[in-house]
């Protein structure tokens, strides 16, 4: 029987954040070692910290917000495709990858997964261009996951996200740790925090090989 794989990044101080904005902090408020009766800390972070989802509202002022997202889109079978050795994901790259018909949740593994998440933020990371978004919409894919902190190339962030979120049902899943994943079908559970009216939310994401 397949085991669940946690593809979420650890949320910890010193972790990379997009454009080095909103560094994560977890200040300790009470400590048993410090003489208190209990351990307690608080969180200071952005809504797009670590593995996270973008709601349409992130780039569409009339778009769905986190608490309005469809749970049926966040949970279910997904398909992983590997696109290695490229700098930007295009329509033609996706067309050549033989993605099965009927895929609603797609995870794209690139060289980002080989390089990983150590060190400093890398603005040269692999991401989608506008033509790739056209492919996503044509295929009816509603959840798109990538292996760095944005679905787009860094310099194409606004136009790619704006185009992607023209479909108010679409969800972007970013910073997925796909190092252990290979091409094929997986069962996925992706649950963001239930943040009311938010543009994005950290998420715990787990997958396991599907019997599809």
Tokens coding 109:
């593994």
Helices 157-164 + 130-139 axis angle, to 10: 10
Tokens coding 100:
């099965």
Tokens coding 174:
């970013």
**What whole-number distance in Å separates Cα of residue 68 and Cα of residue 32?**
40
Tokens coding 139:
């295929």
**Which of helix, strand or coil describes residue 76?**
strand
**How many angstroms separate the Cα of 107 from the Cα of each of 1, 26, 30, 33, 200?**
22, 30, 40, 43, 18
**Residues 151, 164 contacting (CB under 8 angstroms):** yes
Give the β-pairing of 40-41 and 28-30: antiparallel
- The runs of H, that is alpha helices, within 8-102 are 71-74, 91-96
* Active site residues per annotation: 58
CA angle 189-54-19, nearest 5°? 120
């Amino acid at each position: 029987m397949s085991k669940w794989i946690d593809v979420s990044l650890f949320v910890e101080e010193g972790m990379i954040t997009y454009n080095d904005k909103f560094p994560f902090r977890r200040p300790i408020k009470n400590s048993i070692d410090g003489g208190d009766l209990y351990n307690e800390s608080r969180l200071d972070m952005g809504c797009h910290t670590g593995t996270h989802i973008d709601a349409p509202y992130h780039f569409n002022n009339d778009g769905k917000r986190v608490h309005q997202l469809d749970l049926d889109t966040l949970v279910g079978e997904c398909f992983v495709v590997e696109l290695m050795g490229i700098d930007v994901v295009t329509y033609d790259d996706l067309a050549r990858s033989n993605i099965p018909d009927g895929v609603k949740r797609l995870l794209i593994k690139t060289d980002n997964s080989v390089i990983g998440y150590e060190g400093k933020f890398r603005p040269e990371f692999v991401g989608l261009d506008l033509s790739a978004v056209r492919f996503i919409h044509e295929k009816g894919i509603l959840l798109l996951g990538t292996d760095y902190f944005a679905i787009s190339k860094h310099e194409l962030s606004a136009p790619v996200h704006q185009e992607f979120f023209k479909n108010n049902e679409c969800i972007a899943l970013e910073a997925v740790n796909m190092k252990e994943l290979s091409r094929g079908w997986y069962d996925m559970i992706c649950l963001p925090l239930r943040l009311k009216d938010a543009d994005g939310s950290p998420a715990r994401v787990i997958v396991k090989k599907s019997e599809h």
